[in-house]
A and B are shown apart, each in its own frame.
Chain A
Amino acid sequence: MSVTIAHTDIGDLCSGSVFLATGGGGDPYVSQILVEQALKKHGAVELVLLADIPDDAFVVAIGEVGAPTVSLEQLPIGTECLDVVDRFEAWTGRKITHIVSFEVGGANSVIPLIAAAAKKIPLIDGDGMGRALPEAQMMTFAIEGVRPTPAVAVDYAGGATYFDTADTLLYERQIRNIAMAMGGMVFTAEHPMTANEARRAIVPGTISFALQIGQTLNGNYGNARQVEAPLKALFEHSDYGILKHLYTGKIVDINRKIVGGFDVGEATIESVGGRAPPMTLSIKNEFLVATVAGKVKASVPDLITMVDHETSSPINSERIHYGQRVTVFGIGCPPHYRTERALKVVAPRAFGFDFDYQPIDTL
């Protein structure tokens, strides 16, 4: 059975992907405009189930790498995605048979659609995170042993950088530094995969799940309290397993800088009337840890998502500002991240926190 994604789906897909982005992933507004243009021009994109890819598939991940705050100001040219596919194929001498998003969170859930539409390449329903996370070694591709390169990065000046390293940590250093040197954001084609690698390393079904979340958020117009029940039902019947209300309050402080090519900072939320102690969210592109009075309420790799309390629209960390009224939800992580191997790179200690991961359903 073939499913397609049309330009009319993009609004919902964007809302759902910002929800899964846990504050990171980049605001998809500009990408949404570009993707809608591309889908109107080239037609709908075929969305392929991971289980349905042929054995001779050659899968490549496409997306943006960098600091999300930058893309609020410095817009893409709009053709980088096509350029990166062309350059990747020319360099490797191989045709890409399937495109996959490396991150379902934020702009990176829709950006691969530009290339998929223009190049008539099907998109796999899945991604390399099931959420958003800041670094390459945290992708399920890397955790499952997929080599990050050959990879190509296209920059705002229309130039390209080619990568050929077997080590994911080195690749992360290289791509991060290129992104920083080139205005904070580059478009990459990376993590080429065989069908077998793809079946093992891709978190399945996340694109269509993001679409469902978007439909729920946009279909039940109302505040976070009203949308909580339908969201809970949706997550309980998914690989994520659980969605919990963590906090409702007002942003009283947001402190954020670009450090080493990431948005790094902290947000403080105070309860209405100041009755409960405030919640602190630690940010590195994404919301990593939520604490109240020194107690951890949720942490990576579980998802921490912030929505505008009144409209339930999910908020990117770069869009947080003083005085916003918000609700914070905690969500279980996909099973790919619950293995010991995965937790080495995505648990709180991997981000420099001095405590172990405790699954949200035990907190």
Chain B
Amino acid sequence: MRVGIDVGGTHTDAVILDGQAVIASTKVLTTQNVKDGVVNALDEILHESGVDRGKIDAVMIGTTQFTNAVIQRRELARTAIIRIALPSGELVPPMIDWPDDIAAELGRHTYMIHGGRTYDGFPIAPLSDEELDEAIDDIARKEIGLVAIAGVFSPSDPAQEEYVAARVRAKLPRVRVTASHSIGRMGLLERENAALLNASLLPLADMVVKSFAAALEDKQVECPFYISQNDGTLMSADFAAEFPALTFASGPTNSLRGASLLTDLDDAVVVDIGGTTSDIGVLQGGFPRQSNISIEVGGVRTNFRMPDIQAIGLGGGSIVRDEGSTIGPQSVGYRLVTESLVFGGDTLTATDIVVASGKADIGDHEKVAGLDASMVDKAVEKIHAMIDSGIDQMKSSRDPVPVILVGGGAVLISRSLKTASAVHRPEHSGVANAIGAANAQVGSETERIVSYRRIPRDTVLEEMTGELTSGLIRAGADPESVRIADIEETAISYLADESSRVRVKMVGDLSLVRRGKIQCR
């Protein structure tokens, strides 16, 4: 048996799964210290199910804590960046394109030093210890505890980043470092940004990972626990504490995976309607469709792989104005339970509209009995038109597609959708994220420097995928499910013979997960 937990900004959800059967599920409030919320959720599901905690094989946790920290500009630590590139990039300093508010949180402590390598390995400029030490001394003077390091062409040759990291650690043993080659791909600005965001999240990551461990210890759940990454695979707790940025967008990934498992649909559009926004994503072959090139996280360009999500400003708390013709993007949010009409407040929200239309029983329907029927009808039409237009932008064919509605705001959709061939409202959709987390995959990556002149490319890829496949099966993956998630090739021309660095990532389902439709008891 395994436990899936989703720690969101507002709610912490948990499920216990036996194979694909949901034994128990719950939704509790997330607490400031994270730990209490997880403890409460575990309490509820253990109590409800009466499951022996010794029978739990693994706990999988998805968390939006780190994404939220970036988006809401909170709990981000002051972080310095040392870029090894001068004279290259002099007028394009680190963080130049960052929104001011998030840059202020980290502090724009940017240091540019000479160094880096050209594509063929020639030094752009000599790296000087003197210049580096000046930067390190200044970081010490400002008492900055976190340092990101980015060097030109470090994915091809990480030596200079490693040298700078070692010197920072030697001089400032308590400072923590993220070197860009360990987290990002080609593209200096994006990789530098990823390293900066990651470093600024390290103190929060420590707190969050420790809270998870403490909560499990508290409830005497002694099995290993894993944390979901943005690509839907799992990482160990230690790894997550070092690379919290790899959790970005794991929330939508888990939600989409959960929706697929709850409906047994591999190809569908998933609409997750919350209090303030609706997130629309696309399932292709049971997995989220990935977004293109550069992904902004809280307005900062990065090159992480992430699901392609379209967020529209429509949720249960969306404020209705202009006689029902304008809905959102303003929302009463979590104050829905005090400010909406059905809960005795005086703000007309999307939830009030659904109750007035007789399609949902929430709060006191008497409170909306006096609303003008034609206004209500207009607003209901508008809600459906907004979701239809969102789906239309995301779906990949002209024809209507199966649509899966999840999230607390799914009640807003009461009529048929033009873009939908069928609308599915799976049971347990409120905890789709936690179910997705509990069904996360194992992934494995390998890297090689090869010369295609000496070994044909097909042979190299065949060997690498073969190795990874057997490794994943040993790690517990179901052989049938193993597939290539990513192939990345970087030419390293400083070596002769057209050498390339090839990185292959493969993923598979854990056999203990057993694929198939989630069953509800």
**Which A residues are closer than 8 A to B by beta carbons?**
29-30, 33-34, 37, 67, 69-70, 72-79, 156-158, 180, 182-184, 221-223, 225-226, 253-259, 272, 308-311, 313, 315, 319, 321-325
Please tell me if the beta carbons of B396 and A325 are within 8 angstroms of each other in the complex. yes
Residues of chain B with a CB closer than 8 A to A33's CB: 92, 96-97
Residue from B90, B91, B188 with most neighbouring chain A CB atoms (10 Å): B91
Residues of chain A with a CB closer than 8 A to B85's CB: 74-75
Please tell me if the beta carbons of A73 and B487 are within 8 angstroms of each other in the complex. no
Residues of chain A with a CB closer than 8 A to B91's CB: 34, 37, 76-79
Please tell me if the beta carbons of A73 and B486 are within 8 angstroms of each other in the complex. no
Residues of chain B with a CB closer than 8 A to A256's CB: 489, 491
Q: Please pick, from A74, A309, A319, the residue contacting B118 in the complex, using a CB distance under 8 A.
A: A74
- Nearest-CB distance from B388 to chain A (Å)? 13
Please tell me if the beta carbons of A258 and B493 are within 8 angstroms of each other in the complex. yes
Among B7-15, B52-60, B74-82, B285-293, the one that faces the other chain is B285-293
Please tell me if the beta carbons of B152 and A73 are within 8 angstroms of each other in the complex. yes
Please tell me if the beta carbons of B188 and A72 are within 8 angstroms of each other in the complex. yes
Please tell me if the beta carbons of B486 and A323 are within 8 angstroms of each other in the complex. yes
Q: A33-B97, A183-B118, A325-B396 are in contact. List 19 more A-B contacts (CB 8 A).
A: A29-B189, A37-B91, A69-B186, A69-B491, A75-B89, A75-B92, A78-B90, A157-B87, A157-B124, A157-B125, A223-B393, A253-B487, A255-B457, A257-B500, A259-B498, A309-B396, A321-B486, A322-B487, A323-B290
Please tell me if the beta carbons of B290 and A67 are within 8 angstroms of each other in the complex. no
Residues of chain B with a CB closer than 8 A to A309's CB: 396
Please tell me if the beta carbons of A72 and B187 are within 8 angstroms of each other in the complex. yes
Interface check B279, CB cutoff 8 A: no
Chain B contact patch, size range: 35 or more
- Nearest-CB distance from A18 to chain B (Å)? 11
A310 to B288 Cα, complex, angstroms: 14
- Nearest-CB distance from A43 to chain B (Å)? 18
Q: Please pick, from A72, A76, A222, A253, the residue contacting B88 in the complex, using a CB distance under 8 A.
A: A76
> From DSSP, what is the main secondary structure of chain B's interface residues?
loop
Closest to A181 in B: B122
- Nearest-CB distance from A269 to chain B (Å)? 14
Residues of chain A with a CB closer than 8 A to B97's CB: 33
Please tell me if the beta carbons of B119 and A72 are within 8 angstroms of each other in the complex. no
Residues of chain B with a CB closer than 8 A to A77's CB: 87-91
Given A74-B118, A322-B486, A322-B488, A257 and B498 contact (CB-CB distance below 8 Å): yes
A184 to B116 Cα, complex, angstroms: 14
- Nearest-CB distance from A87 to chain B (Å)? 17
Closest to B85 in A: A75
Please tell me if the beta carbons of A222 and B119 are within 8 angstroms of each other in the complex. no
Closest to A67 in B: B119
Residues of chain A with a CB closer than 8 A to B116's CB: 74
Please tell me if the beta carbons of B124 and A223 are within 8 angstroms of each other in the complex. no
A158 to B125 Cα, complex, angstroms: 12
A128 to B367 Cα, complex, angstroms: 69
Closest to A257 in B: B491
A34 to B89 Cα, complex, angstroms: 10
A254 to B488 Cα, complex, angstroms: 9
A77 to B500 Cα, complex, angstroms: 27
Closest to B122 in A: A183
Given A75-B188, A156-B124, A255-B457, A34 and B92 contact (CB-CB distance below 8 Å): yes
- Nearest-CB distance from B374 to chain A (Å)? 31
A223 to B116 Cα, complex, angstroms: 39
A231 to B383 Cα, complex, angstroms: 30
Residues of chain B with a CB closer than 8 A to A225's CB: 398
A39 to B116 Cα, complex, angstroms: 30
A180 to B186 Cα, complex, angstroms: 19
Closest to B394 in A: A310
